[in-house]
Amino acid sequence: MIDDLPIREDLKGKTPYGAPQIDVPVRLNTNENSYALPDEVVEAIGKAVQAELRDLNRYPDRNAVALRTDLADYLGHGLTVANVWAANGSNEVQQQLLQTFGGPGRTALGFGPSYSMHPLLAQGTGTRWVGALRDPDFGINPDKAAEEIRRHDPDVVFLCSPNNPTGTALDPEVITAVLGAAKGIVLVDEAYFEFARPGTPSALTLLGRHRRLVVTRTMSKAFGFAGGRLGYFAADPDVVDAVQLVRLPYHLSSLTQAAARAALAQRTALLATVDAIKQQRDRIVSTLRERGLRVADSDANFVLFEVGGDQKGDQKDQKEVWQRMLDRGVLIRDVGLQGWLRVTAGTPAETDAFLEAMA
């Protein structure tokens, strides 16, 4: 019971983020990379962290210049350290962006169903949230999106591509239409970009022409670095400068910076799992479709599928299916979308267990 504490009025009665962390054999609910880090990467990160230990009496580089330089190098597209900012997960960079460009009296708009943290970050920063809707096929129509934005005139627009929980990648045409209509910041969350099917363009290609565009990325998914907590964004250097107004000094520990740099240097070994994961994703999509289920196309490392048969009226309650899967030792995700569930693509053995339990 926290409501009798003197908490902010706008937080009373709200619920925190809470994907269940349950210790079962098959955990396919938070889109982590299922593969443990390879030995050579473990060794490299260990050495890098070890080298920092004697200097833990000192604050880290609060500008994380070396790490940001490495991240810019990884992204390519002619980006430099001045274009990139990093923090403890892309959730933190998005919070910093809302602290800078949103806040009390301001509005953020997103197109649901999408990542549940976007409205929660708005809530935490006192930013009013406007929930616009995706089309029934989970895409976004550029004209309708532009109209919504003109109607609400948000200070920050959230786009997510490939979108969590649907897996849908956005056409750059949509992003351009949104940029044309929006007066505020347009944030494109590309947490799953590394899993996109070949030919899917990144919003990074639009950066040079749009000063209010921000593209966020993370090492939590493709890099298998969820526990390391490293997210970042790329934008105009002025956006990076603006965010300095709200970032905490020394927010990124020297251990995090060193570990992330070592992981980036080992990216060939770390990203080697991406192709295998994409194969499992495609296998989940095709097998569930063969079984007559409706499944969303996915450019991410997860699949959104409708439970029950393909006949109308046969739609099962997703909560019941979720529980029955958990009873069989397979943890998947109920994202609160009536009739749908999401499963992460992991190892072939995990896919076997998932498909068997689903059968």
Residues that bind ligand PLP in the complex, under the rule CB under 6 A: 31, 89-91, 115, 160, 164, 189, 191, 218, 220-221, 226, 231
106 closest CA partner among 87, 122, 92: 122
Question: What's the min distance (Å) between Cβ of 309 and ligand PLP?
Answer: 29
Question: What's the min distance (Å) between Cβ of 13 and ligand PLP?
Answer: 25
User: Cβ distance 127 to 98 under 8 Å?
Assistant: yes
Nearer to ligand PLP, 37 or 191 (CB): 191
Question: What's the min distance (Å) between Cβ of 260 and ligand PLP?
Answer: 12
Nearer to ligand PLP, 58 or 253 (CB): 253
Phi-psi region of 52 (alpha: psi -120 to 50; beta: other; left: phi over 0): alpha
Residue of this chain nearest to ligand PLP (CB atom): 89
Question: What's the min distance (Å) between Cβ of 220 and ligand PLP?
Answer: 3
Task: Looking at 83-205, list the stretches that DSSP marks H as alpha helix, in order from N- to C-terminal side.
Answer: 90-101, 117-124, 142-152, 172-181
Nearer to ligand PLP, 95 or 318 (CB): 95
Question: What's the min distance (Å) between Cβ of 263 and ligand PLP?
Answer: 13
Task: Return the DSSP state at 266.
Answer: T
Question: What's the min distance (Å) between Cβ of 112 and ligand PLP?
Answer: 12
Nearer to ligand PLP, 168 or 266 (CB): 168
Nearer to ligand PLP, 91 or 351 (CB): 91
DSSP for 168-181, please give it: PPPPHHHHHHHHHH
Nearer to ligand PLP, 55 or 134 (CB): 134
104 closest CA partner among 118, 123, 119: 123
Question: What's the min distance (Å) between Cβ of 246 and ligand PLP?
Answer: 17
User: Cβ distance 335 to 160 under 8 Å?
Assistant: no
What angle in degrees, to the nearest 10, is found between the helix axes of 254-265 and 65-75?
30
CA distance 234 to 77: 10
CA distance 242 to 82: 12
Nearer to ligand PLP, 184 or 231 (CB): 231
| Cα-Cα end-to-end distance for the chain | 41
